[in-house]
Structure 1
C-alpha cells in the first residue's frame, strides 16, 4: 500500500485534544471523506479510513455519469462528541485545517457528528462550505448548490433524506446477498449495533423489506425481541445521538447488556457504530451468517479470517456504506435531483450492481468479498488516474 499524499496531526491549544487529517489521493485536485469525532480516535484509524474512501470513490466510477469519483481522505478528532467542550474543539480544528478544506478536502458528517453541526462549525470557522473545494469542478455551481440544499431539505416520514439514503444502501447490500443465496426475506432476522443515522435507517429499510429486526443496540445497551421490534416506534423515540427512550418499549421488548447484539439469533448482523467492534476476542459470539458492515472498519482483519473459517461472510464497508458519499455527489453533479424516490431508486440500483459484481468476483476468484472489492477498486484506480490524473 502506498503512503498517503498528506498526513497531519493537530493539537488543540485550549484542551490538548488531538485531531487528524489524512489525504490518501487526489483526483482532479480534490478528495472526499467525512470528519468523525470519537474518544480514542487515532491517526492510524484515520489513515485506514482515508484509504477506504479512495476505494469507495473508485468503486462508484461510471464513465457515463456526470459524477467523477474524487480522491479519498478522512478527518478525525479524539474527543467525545457529548463533551461540553466538543463544539469548541470542532470549530478550532476546522479553523486550523481551513486551507485544506478550501483547496482540496471536501468533508461532512461522520461518526459522532451531524451535518448540521459540521455546517454550523464550518461557518463559524470562516468556511463557505465543508465541500467548497469541489465547486470549481461543477458546470453550474449555483444550480448544483441549490439542488444539494434542496435534497437536504427533503424528509420522508419526518426523517431527512440525507439520514435515510445511507441506510437504504446498506439494506440493499444485505438484500442482494440474500437474493444471491436464495434466502427469502420473510423469516430472516437482523440485529443492528448502533441506532443513529446509519443504523436506524438500515433497520427501517430492512424491516420494510420484510425482514424481522430482533435486536438493536445503542449506548445504553441492547433492546431485543425474538418476535421482532417495532422499528418505527424506536426510531421515533431516539434522541440526537441515537439513544432510544426506554419508555417507548413494549412489554415483550427485553433489555440486555451492551454487547448482547453480537450473539443475537439472527442471520444478518449489522455493525453500524464504532470501528473495531468485532475482534478476535468476541468474534466467536457471532451466530449470524452475514455481517454487513454499515460502520467503517467494524471487523478487524484477524477476526474476519476466523469468521470466514466458520462460514460467516463479511460484506465490507468499502461497498456497503458507500451510498451516502455517492448520493452527495450524484446530487451535486446532477445525476439525480432533490427527490427521495429518485435517490432511493438510484442508490438501490447502484448498490445492487456493485454487490453482485463483488460477490461474483469473490466466487470466481475463490476469495472473500473484501478481497474482491479491493481487486475491483485496484482495477479502476489506474483507469481514473489515466483519465483525470492524481493531482490535476
Structure 2
C-alpha cells in the first residue's frame, strides 16, 4: 500500500441541528495510529470546504513537528466547524448537540479543542454536557502514563502569565518567533520595526504581546469594531487588559494619541509586518493591493487566498504560511501531554521558541534553495515526512504493509 497522502479526506461529513437548522462539519484528513488532531471553530458562514482545507493544514502541522527522537508522535489532521455566530444566544446549545452527534468520532478518532469563535473553557463545558470524558480522549490509549499526562496538561492549563493563561500565549509566542526569524535572516533590527495585527483574540493578542516585548512597535490592531492605530506605537498591555471574551477592545481604554480607523485599515497601515490573526480569506486579490508591508505572517488559518499570495509575491511581499507559523499551540498541547516538556511557562516558551525558530529557518532555507515560496517549501518538507511517519506508525495503528 502506498504511504502517500490520499487526495481526498478519509472522513467528511455534515451534520444538521434538528433544533435550529444550523449545520456543522467534521473532516478527518488523515489518521496516524488511528488518531487525528484539529480544533473546532464556530463562525457564521463556515463551510465544509473551509473545514476540509483546515484539516489538510492540520495534517501538515503535525508532520512539520515530527521529531523521531521526541515523545510526542504526530497525529493525523482533522478539523471541525459549525456554521453559527458564536454570539448567537442559541450557539451554546448548538455546540452541545454538535458534540453529542460527533461523540463516537471524538471518543475514538478525533482530538479537538478551541479554535476561532470558541474558548477552551466553552468547548470543555459543552463536551462534559455532551457526555464526553475529554475532547482529547482518543489519544489516551497512546500515552505511557495516562494519569500523569492528564495531570500535567491540566496543571499547564492552570498557569497564568501576567494575567493571561499559558494556553492562550504559546501560539502567539510561536508566531512572534516566526516574525523574528524572518527579520534576523533579512538583517532587520527588532527595535522600531512596525507591526499591524488583524484580530486581537487569543492568537493576535499574544502575538502582539511577544512582539512588543521583543522591541517591535505595534502600530495597529483590528477587531470587529474597527482598527485602532498609533504610528508611535500602541500600549499593547493596556489593550489586552481591555479585551472582552471575543477579543474586542473597550474603546474607553484608548490613549489620547490612539485613533480609530475603518476595519480594513490594518491592510494599508505603514508597517513592515502584517499579522492576519482573525478569520480565513481576509486577504483577496483586490485588497492585497493595499498592502505595502514586506512580510505577511499568517497567524490565522488560511487568511490569504492563493491567488492573492501570488500577486503579493510578484510585488516582493513574502507570505509566511499558517501551517508553520501558527502551529505552536497544537504542538504545545502534545509536547506537554506526551511529556517532552513539563507544566512550566518558561520551559514552554523556550521549547516553543527553539522549535519554531528551527522550523521557520528550515522552511526559509528550503525556499531559498529551491527558488520557491515559503509555502511551497513547507509543502515539500511535509511531502518528505509523511511517508516516514506512515511507514513507522501506520494510519490505523500499525505500520503500513509494504
What TM-score, normalized to structure 1?
1.00
CA distance in 2, matches of 1:84, 1:50: 28
TM-superposition CA deviations, 1:51-99 (whole Å, max 9, x none): 0000000000001100000000000000000000000000000000000
Q: Who is 1:91 aligned against?
A: 96
TM-superposition CA deviations, 1:268-317 (whole Å, max 9, x none): 00000000000001000011100000000000000000000000000000
Q: Who is 1:181 aligned against?
A: 186
Tell me how far 1:383 sits from its aligned partner. Answer: 0.4
Q: Who is 1:202 aligned against?
A: 207
Structure 1 segments (4+ residues) deviating >4 Å = none
- 2:310 counterpart (305, 315, 318): 305
- 1:280 counterpart (285, 288, 303): 285
- 1:217 counterpart (214, 217, 222): 222
Q: Are positions 1:46 and 2:51 aligned together?
A: yes
- 2:122 counterpart (112, 117, 126): 117
CA distance in 2, matches of 1:126, 1:187: 51
Q: Are positions 1:133 and 2:138 aligned together?
A: yes
CA distance in 2, matches of 1:383, 1:251: 56
CA distance in 2, matches of 1:307, 1:217: 21
TM-superposition CA deviations, 1:210-258 (whole Å, max 9, x none): 0000000011000000000000000000000000010100110010000
Q: Are positions 1:271 and 2:276 aligned together?
A: yes
CA distance in 2, matches of 1:248, 1:105: 41
CA distance in 2, matches of 1:95, 1:238: 31
The alignment covers a number of residue pairs equal to 392
Q: Are positions 1:146 and 2:151 aligned together?
A: yes
Tell me how far 1:195 sits from its aligned partner. Answer: 0.2
Q: Are positions 1:331 and 2:336 aligned together?
A: yes
**SS of residue in 1 equivalent to 2:169:** helix
- 1:384 counterpart (384, 389, 402): 389
Tell me how far 1:186 sits from its aligned partner. Answer: 1.1
Q: Who is 1:362 aligned against?
A: 367
**SS of residue in 2 equivalent to 1:9:** strand
Q: Who is 1:7 aligned against?
A: 12
**SS of residue in 2 equivalent to 1:50:** helix
**SS of residue in 2 equivalent to 1:305:** helix
Gaps of 5+ in 2: 1-5, 398-402
CA distance in 2, matches of 1:202, 1:270: 9
Q: Who is 1:28 aligned against?
A: 33
CA distance in 2, matches of 1:332, 1:47: 26
Q: Who is 1:346 aligned against?
A: 351
Aligned ranges 1:186-265 → 2 under 5 Å: 186-265=191-270
- 1:17 counterpart (17, 22, 27): 22
Q: Who is 1:296 aligned against?
A: 301
**SS of residue in 1 equivalent to 2:219:** strand
**SS of residue in 1 equivalent to 2:133:** coil
Gaps of 5+ in 1: none
User: CA-atom RMSD, angstroms?
Assistant: 0.5
Tell me how far 1:385 sits from its aligned partner. Answer: 0.3
Q: Are positions 1:165 and 2:164 aligned together?
A: no
Q: Are positions 1:321 and 2:326 aligned together?
A: yes
- 2:64 counterpart (55, 59, 62): 59
Tell me how far 1:325 sits from its aligned partner. Answer: 0.0
TM-superposition CA deviations, 1:104-140 (whole Å, max 9, x none): 1000000000000000000000000000000000000
What TM-score, normalized to structure 2?
0.97
CA distance in 2, matches of 1:88, 1:39: 15
CA distance in 1, matches of 2:292, 2:246: 28
Tell me how far 1:158 sits from its aligned partner. Answer: 1.1
Tell me how far 1:187 sits from its aligned partner. Answer: 1.8
Q: Who is 2:85 aligned against?
A: 80
**SS of residue in 2 equivalent to 1:83:** coil
Tell me how far 1:177 sits from its aligned partner. Answer: 0.4
